[in-house]
Amino acid sequence: MLSGRSWEDYLELAVTEIRDYGATSVQVCRRLRALFEGLLASLPAACGPALHAELRLLDEAVEREFADDLRRAEARTADSQGIGGRRTRDAAPGGAPPDEPGP
C-alpha cells in the first residue's frame, strides 16, 4: 500500500518543473505568481507556508534570471489573465496608463 502525499508534495510536484524551466520567461513567472496569490487567497491558512516557500523560490529565480530592473519588476507582477502586456487596469477608460503621459 502506498502512503498518501502531503499538500506540500503535490504543490512541489505541480510547480517545480514549470518554475525551473520557465524561470527565463517573464510570462511564466507572472502566471506562477498569480497562481500562488490566488491559492493564498482561497485556500486554508494551513496551506500558506508551502505557498510562501514557493513564492520565495520564484523570487530567487527572478533575481537570478533577470538582470535589468524593468524585466525583474514585470516578472514580479502577477498576471492572472495570462495575456501579458502592460498593466493598464489603473488607467481611466480610454486614458493612458498611470506611468505614461496622456494624448
pLDDT in tens, 47-100: 999 999 999 999 999 999 999 999 999 999 999 887 776 654 443 444 444 444
Domain contains 27: yes
Predicted model pTM: 0.76
- In 3D space, the residue among 45, 22, 29 whose CA is nearest the CA of residue 79 turns out to be 29
3-state secondary structure (DSSP) of residue 35: helix
Domain contains 100: no
Domain contains 81: no
Helices marked H in the chain — which ranges? 7-22, 26-42, 48-65, 69-75
| Boundaries of domain holding 70 | 8-75
Domain contains 15: yes
Domain contains 85: no
Total of domains in the chain: 1
Domain contains 102: no
33-62 pLDDT, tens per residue? 999 999 999 999 999 999 999 999 999 999
Length of the chain counted residue by residue: 103
